[in-house]
A = this chain, B = another copy of it.
Amino acid sequence: MPSPKNSDAEAAAEKTRLSRQVVLAAALELVDAEGLDALTMRRLGQQLNRDPMSLYRYAANRAALLDGVSELVFDELSIHPKDPDWQAQLRYIAHDLRLLALRHPNVVPLLVTRPLSTPLGLRPLGTLRPLEQILSLLIDAGFAPADALHMYRAYYGFLYGHILNELQEFIVDPDENEALLRLGLHRLPPKDFPQLRALGPVLADYDGAAELDQGIDILLSGLAAHLSRVPESTREPAQG
């Protein structure tokens, strides 16, 4: 068979040279399309038109592959640590991350879960970059480093929590227009869950972006009020 049978189906995977980027991109595509469980070595190999074992050149094992996907996704974030308006920048990042999560919902469990089993210092650098940059932003804004860390934790914690919350608002039957049924709430025993059932219609329309904004606003202004900030005039200029 001299001519490659590449014509069949959507196997656009010509046999070009592999590379880490190509492998990770294919992995992300697979996860986006079919979920985390679909990302097996064999399946990914098939997607790339290669033997599954060839993937081990580009990721030491499956866990490393998952880390790679996390890193790839985090690269979609753009943070400007030099923005003078730190509050605006944090709000911007928050929305960016939110949209990223909505774009890649199947990756979110990864983002949230992998760090729990990897000590800070051993994580993929790409996943630590946002942390470093936000710290920079806050320190440049005049917060003492310890306070910057403090603030980062509250900010990022809330942000993650919000994203998890929003992604949970899953729908059972999108064709149903009765709120109770859309959310599957009719299954709950009315005696035990009166409030939840009553809130069906309210649950159904949820403005994630607005709630995120409000929460961040409250947190940031509240925290800023408690923390010491060195005014710009009395600060030493940043070196470099």
Residues of A within 8 A of B (CB): 105, 108-109, 112-113, 115-116, 118-122, 125, 128-129, 131-132, 135-136, 139, 145-146, 148-150, 153-154, 156-162, 164-165, 167-172, 183-189, 192-196, 198-199, 202-203, 211, 214-215, 218-219, 221-223, 226
With A128-B188, A145-B202, A149-B203 already in contact, the answer to whether A157 and B168 are too (CB < 8 A) is no
Q: How far, in angstroms, from A202 to B135 measured CA to CA in the complex?
A: 13
Q: From DSSP, what is the main secondary structure of chain A's interface residues?
A: helix
B-chain residues with CB within 8 Å of residue A112 when the two chains form the complex: 109, 112-113, 164
Instruction: Determine if A187 and B122 form an interchain contact, defined as CB atoms under 8 angstroms apart.
Output: yes
Instruction: Determine if B154 and A211 form an interchain contact, defined as CB atoms under 8 angstroms apart.
Output: yes
B-chain residues with CB within 8 Å of residue A109 when the two chains form the complex: 109, 112-113, 116
B-chain residues with CB within 8 Å of residue A194 when the two chains form the complex: 132
